Copies of this chain bind each other. A is one copy, B any other.
Amino acid sequence: MSLRHALLGLLVEHPASGYDLLKTFDTSLANVWPATQSQLYGELAKLADSGLIVVSEQGPRGRKEYTLTDPGLAELRRWLTETEPQRTRSDVLLRVFFLGVLTPQQALDYLDGQAAQAAGLRAELKKLDDAIDWDDADLSVYGRIALEYGQRLAAMQQEWAEWARTQVKPR
C-alpha cells in the first residue's frame, strides 16, 4: 500500500490536483510505481478523509487542488524511516525458471527479447539523464540517484540476457 505514500511524497513539493498527479505517474513515476486513474482518485479521497491531505483550492471543471498536511508529512516520514520495503515479484525471472519447456530456439528468442528491451530502456534513460539539467536541490540529488539505479538495472539486465543466451544448449 505504497500508492498513498507516493501521493504524499509528490505533494511535498507543491499542491496538485488528481489530474496533475496522474500525469506524474504516467511519466516520471511510470517505471517505478505505475498507477491508474481510478486508483488515484480513490486514494486521494481516502487520504483527504483521514486528514493527511486537504482540498486547498477548487478550480474550474470541479478541479480540486490538494495540499499536504502536517500529519501527512509525518506519515510520509514514518513510512520512510520505520517500514521495510516489501519484496518484489519478478515476472521476467519467473519465466526464466520455466524456459526448459520451450525449444532452445524459443528460449533464445525470449532472452533476445529481454536484452533488446533492456537496451531500449537503457537508451531511453540515458536520453532522459542527458536532457535534465541537474542542480543541487534535494529533489535533483535523489531524482538523480533513482535514475542512476534505473540505468544500472537496465545495463545489468542487458548484460545478463546476453550472457544467458550463451548458456542455452542447442537440442
Contacts and interface: CB of A to CB of B under 8 A. Distances in A.
A160 B152 contact: yes
Interface in A75-89: 76-77, 79-81, 85-89
A93 B146 contact: yes
Counted per complex, copies of this chain come to: 2
Interface residues of A, number: 60
A23 interface: no
A35 to B, nearest CB: 9
Given A31-B87, A136-B169, A96 B160 contact: no
Nearest to A109: B81
Nearest to A136: B169
Interface stretch (A2-10, A41-49, A58-66): A2-10
Given A101-B77, A149-B96, A168-B141, A89 B91 contact: no
Contacts of A109: 81
Contacts of A90: 32-33, 88
A139 interface: yes
Interface of A: 2, 5-6, 9, 12, 29, 31-34, 73, 76-77, 79-81, 85-102, 106-107, 109-110, 136, 138-139, 141-146, 148-150, 152-153, 156, 159-160, 163-164, 167-169
